[in-house]
Every structure is written in C-alpha cells, then in structure tokens.
Amino acid sequence: MTASNTVRTRFAPSPTGALHIGSARTALFGWLLARHAGGQFVLRIEDTDQKRYVAESEQEFIDMFAWLGIDFDESPQIGGDYGPYRQSERLDHYQKWAQWLIDHDKAYRAYDTPEELAAINEQRRADGLPPGYDRRHRELTAEQEQAFIDEGRVPVVRFKVPLTGKVVVNDLVQGHIEFDNSTLQDIVLLKSDGFPTYHLAHVIDDHLMQISHVTRSNEWVPSLPVHVHLWHAFGWELPQYAHLPVLLNPNGKGKLSKRHAGFSESGKQVLVLVKEFREAGYLPEAVINFLTNIGWNFGDEREVFDIEEAIERFDIGRVNPANSAYPIEKLDWLNGVYIREKMSAETLAGHLRKPLEQAGLNVDEATLQVVAPLVQTRIKTLNDVVDLAGFFFKPDFTPASADDLIQRKMDTAGMIAMLQHAEQRLKTLDDWQTDALHSAMLTVVEELGLKNGQVFGGLRVAVTGQKVSTPTFESMEIIGRDESLRRIQQAINILQAG
Ligand code: GLU
C-alpha cells in the first residue's frame, strides 16, 4: 500500500495494435479493484518498444474503454499528478534511476556485441544450459570499461541480481510464489538506445505513480522475482501483486489469440478484439458482465449482474488463479438477456438503428419504434435485427421464391388455394390488427383443415418475403392492409407461374 493507503491500480498496455479482449479483462479486474476501494485507475502507455509501436493504438484503446464503460482517473489525455503517462516521455526517469543503481553497485554496464551474445548462447546450448548471459561484464574494472568505450561499444545496463538465496512473494491471486535466486538472470534494464526494458520501467513507474496493486497477466510471473529484487535494490516499498489468469482458446489449448481463434466447436466465430464485439452487435454492458464472469464469480449462482453490483462485491482474492477457456458461447445468451431484460423497447430501438443503417437500410423512426418490441425477445445480438426484421426497411419488397412459400406437407395447388382463401377473408376484415388478423386466420385453418403453422407460416413468407421473421400478424399490422394484400396476391402469382 502507498503511504496514503489509497488503492491505485493501473492498466499499462503496449500500443502494438487493437485492444485484445484478454487485455480488456485484465484492465477490467484492475478497474474493479480500484472502484471497489474508491481508489484510482490509471492508464499508462508503455510505448518503449519502437519496433512494435502502432500510432493508432492509443486512441483505439481509449475508444474501446469508453465503449466498455471502463473509465480512467489519470491518463495521457486526462493528465494527473504523476505524469507524463507515456513511457516514451519519461526516459529521463529511467536513465536517472539506472544510473542510481550503477552508482549503488546494483547494476552494471555490459558492452557485449550482439555477436558475442550469440556466441555465449551457442556455448550455453552446447553445455545444456538455458539461454542467458554469463555475467562476464558484471565486475569490470574501470580500465576494462574504458577500453570498451574506446572501441566505440555502446553498453546496456544490466541488473546485478542476487546469486544465492530465495525470493518469496504472496500474490493476491496466485498465492505463495517462491523462486531460487540461482535461477535468475542479470536482465537488461536499459537498452543501448537509452530506452528502458519493461522490467525497469514498470518498477520505476509503479513506484513514482504510487500504484498500490499491480494487476497484470500471469505471463509476468516468471519475471516477478527480478522485479521484487529491483524494488529491494531501490529500497522502495513493494506494491501488492495480483497476477491474473489469461484467457485460453475455447478448446482450452493455448492463449487466446487472433491468429488461432478461428471458430468454436459449435461453429461460432471466436471474436478476439474488443472492436469486433462492437461490430458484431454486442452491448458493452453484456461484454463487461461476460468478462467479469470469467475467473471470478458474483456468488449466489448469479451470472447476470450490473456493473455497480460487481464493483460492490469485487474481491481480487477470489479470482481463480487458473487460466480459463474462453466461454464465447455464453456471450450470445447474456447479450440476449441484456436486450430482453435490461432495456426498454425504446432504448433498444436506439441501438438497432446503427446495424440497420450499416446494412444499407432506410430506417424511419416510427417503424423502428413498432418493430423494436417485436424483435426484443427474439434477437441475441443487435445485428440479428437485420435478418429478422430488415425487410421492414427495404425500399422495395423482395418476394420469396415458390419453394420458400410452399409449407410442409403442402403442394403448389394447396398453397395457392390457401392463400386465395386467406386473401378473401382478409379483404373483408375491418380491423387490421394483430388479434383480428390472428382470429380470422384461425378460421381459415379450421375451414381448410390445415395446421396453424401451414397457414401462418405461408402468410409469413408471403408478406415478409422471409422464412424467419418477426411474428406474422404483428408484421402484417405494421406492413398495413393494402401492402399485405398486394404481397399475398404477388405470392399467388409466383406460385401460379412456378
Ligand atoms: N506493457 C505490458 C504489457 O502490455 C504491461 C504489463 C503490466 O501491466 O505491467 O504486457
């Protein structure tokens, strides 16, 4: 904890591309921890890897977090008392503290060339050792150093890790972790270009930014002992560490990755980038609920909860340390719950406009408002509205084929007779409303000795042009009397021609 006892957590992404759903979940847990404690959540951009830097990334992160509803108290955009919040703007800190470590005999300059390092690794491999550095410059004399400098070599700064003993950490998620110092490497802290490695930058920044809890992916566990030694070397108070489990591919094998995601067993495309969830018509509240349920549970067997409830209950100590297979199948169900139960039809209408317009449809508000309640119980994603009810907004009606019109256990003649009979009844109807349409068509069912599905289904295909749509009579009410009758006549013509 920091001196002030304030919980401060951070999300520290490297801007190397679009925001990954696994990173969003790591951020979410840090955010929940801070919000639960009434603390602060910081965005720090770790842009020290020049080769992998993607300029658009930072803005993309900000847009995606805004969409998800994860807010920051401090960031490069918002500012704050501990800035700058981009590591590339903090190089003087890293250089200053690297020098401090050298001055205190806790780090050293190493002048090895890439070829020499390759040769060391070659030798280690031959000796059956893991790759690494053999510490040959750990105790250079001033003369030796000068000789390398005179040769024009540019050094890196390496950490003098303790060579014996153990390091023990109590991780809030992973529990007790222990490492033998003899297994550690004299890792590079400052590269020859003057940029820090993650190891150095993380410790300095988390200290200077007064981060109380480091919530990050468990992929960093192997580096943890070195980080702990760095904190000790500086004489700074350690933050609490919470190494979070990562998301695995849906089959439970390997870390979830864009390249390997593909399709789940049931043939569902496995979405990996946060922007893909938005594009596919998921609600941010459902995505957040979905992510919160992976590796943490609300308790009381509840899978659906508002974010405020999750904040209230969140306990980092109850996060399951094991990596989880990505339960993408759950998201459709959850999103459906949010569409059905967590919003009014009017609000839903607002959400449906975008996917409809993106499908090239012409959305008039009055129709949208009457269509929204009809789709509300029938869609899983916002985009589903296009297939189910897009026909309401098409400038021209696309009639169905004869094949689609003909219902189960019926033939062309029977279909024509049914539609003609229905047409007669409908023409005499004064009241063109769902209930009246329904009872009129029940009469047709009886009179012709057919099944409900044959009559209602046949009419559905005739008036909507689709086999799957919003319910038949509600749809006919919206389409209106003249247009519905015109379409039924058109269907009869199609059957007669076919
Ligand atoms: N930049 C590191 C990453 O993207 C941050 C890890 C951390 O949160 O400390 O993996």
Domains of the chain, each with CATH number or no CATH: 91-244 (3.40.50.620), 344-389 (1.10.8), 397-497 (1.10.10.350)
Q: What is d(CA 488, CA 479) in angstroms, rounded to the nearest whole number?
A: 12
Nearest residue CA, atom 4 of ligand 1? Answer: 13
Q: How far apart are CA 122 and CA 269, in angstroms?
A: 43
Instruction: Please state the atom number of ligand 1 nearest to the C-alpha of residue 10.
Output: 8
Q: Is the CB of 43 under 6 A from ligand 1?
A: no
Assess contact for 11 and 30: CB atoms under 8 A: yes
Task: Ligand 1 pocket test: pick from 207, 217, 243, 246 the residue with the most ligand atoms within 8 Å of its Cβ.
Answer: 217
The answer, yes or no, to whether any atom of ligand 1 lies below 6 A from the CB of 196, is: no
250 lines ligand 1 (CB under 6 A): no
pLDDT of residue 267: 66
Give the ligand 1 atom nearest the CA of 206: 9
Q: Which pLDDT belongs to residue 49?
A: 87
Residue to substitute in 10, 11, 220, 226 for testing ligand 1 pocket (most ligand atoms within 8 angstroms of CB): 220
Q: pLDDT at position 3, please? A: 46
Q: Which residue has the tokens 């995601």?
A: 261
Atom 3 in ligand 1: residue holding the nearest Cα: 13
Position in ligand 1 atom list of the atom nearest CA 26: 8
Compute, in angstroms, the gap from residue 235 CA to the centroid of ligand 1: 23
Residue of minimum CA distance from atom 10 in ligand 1? 13
Determine the straight-line distance between the first and last CA of the chain, rounded to whole angstroms: 78
Sign of CA dihedral 371, 372, 376, 378: positive
Residue 216, ligand 1, Cβ within 6 A: yes
275 is annotated as an active-site residue: no
Instruction: Given the residues 166, 191, 253, 258, select the one marked as catalytic.
Output: 258
Distance, in Å, from the CA atom of 306 to the CA atom of 150, rounded to the nearest integer, reads 64
249: CA distance to ligand 1 center in Å? 21
Task: Assess whether the C-beta atom of 227 lies below 6 angstroms from ligand 1.
Answer: no
Nearest protein CA to atom 2 of ligand 1, as residue: 13
Pocket flag, ligand 1, residue 422 (CB < 6 Å)? no
- Evaluate: CB of 12 within 6 angstroms of ligand 1: yes
Of ligand 1's listed atoms, the one at least distance from the Cα of 215 is: 8
Among 41, 46, 226, residue to substitute to test ligand 1 (most atoms within 8 Å of Cβ): 46
Q: 206 alpha carbon to ligand 1 midpoint, in Å?
A: 11
Burial of 321 (0-12, 13-18, 19+ CB in 10 A): middle
| Ranges of the chain with pLDDT below 50 | 1-3
Note whether 231 and 27 are within 8 A (CB).
no
pLDDT in tens, 358-372: 999 999 999 999 999
Q: Which of 202, 226, 241, 255 to mutate to test the pocket of ligand 1 (most atoms within 8 A of CB)?
A: 202
Ligand 1 contacts CB of residue 155 (under 6 A) = no
